[in-house]
Amino acid sequence: MSLNVIALGGNAILDKDPSDSGQKAVVAQAAKYIADFVEKGEQVILCHGNGPQVGNLLLQQKAGESEKNPQLKLDTCVAMTQGSIGYWLQHALTNEFAQRGVPQSVISLVTQVRVDKNDPSFQKPSKPIGPFYDKEEAEAAMAKTGGVYQEDAGRGYRKVVPSPMPQEIVEKDVIKTLVDAGVITICAGGGGVPVYQENQHYVGVEAVNDKDFAAKVLADNVQADRLIILTGVDNIYINYNQPDQQALKEITVDQAEQYIEEGHFAAGSMLPKIQAAIGFVNEDASRTAIITSIENLAVLDQQVGTILRK
* pLDDT one digit per residue (tens) for the chain, 310 residues: 799 999 998 778 887 888 999 999 999 999 999 999 999 999 999 999 998 899 899 989 988 989 899 989 999 999 999 999 999 999 999 999 999 999 999 999 999 999 999 999 999 998 888 888 888 988 888 888 888 999 887 888 998 999 999 999 999 999 999 999 999 999 999 999 999 999 989 999 999 999 999 999 999 999 999 999 999 889 999 988 888 899 999 999 999 999 999 999 888 789 999 999 999 999 888 999 999 999 999 888 888 899 999 9
Q: What is the pLDDT of residue 301?
A: 82
Q: How many CB atoms lie within 10 A of CB 232?
A: 11
Which of 161, 188, 216 is the last residue in one of the domains? 161
Distance CA 258, CA 200 (A): 41
Give me the pLDDT at residue 285, please: 87
Which CATH number does the domain housing residue 228 bear? 3.40.1160.10
Q: Please state the domain count of the chain.
A: 2
Q: Please give the DSSP secondary-structure letter assigned to residue 171.
A: T
* Shared domain check, 216 and 137: no
- 121 in any annotated domain: no
Same domain, 31 and 98: yes
pLDDT at 183: 98
- Do 144 and 186 fall into the same domain? no
User: Residues 138, 241: one domain?
Assistant: no
Residue 228 shares a structural domain with residue 90: yes
pLDDT at 162: 95
What does the alpha-carbon distance between residue 212 and residue 230 come to, in Å, rounded to a whole number? Answer: 10
pLDDT score of 33: 95
> Residue 259: which domain range?
3-116+167-308
The answer to whether residues 84 and 139 belong to one domain is no
Residues 188 and 287 in one domain: yes
Q: How far apart are CA 50 and CA 7, in angstroms?
A: 11
- Asked if residue 179 lies in contact with residue 45, where contact means CB atoms within 8 angstroms, the answer is yes
pLDDT computed for residue 272 by the predictor:
93
Q: Quote the pLDDT of residue 204.
A: 96
Positions annotated as catalytic residues are 10-11, 127, 211, 273
Rounded distance, CA 24 to CA 11, Å?
Answer: 13
CA gap 6, 89 in Å, rounded: 13
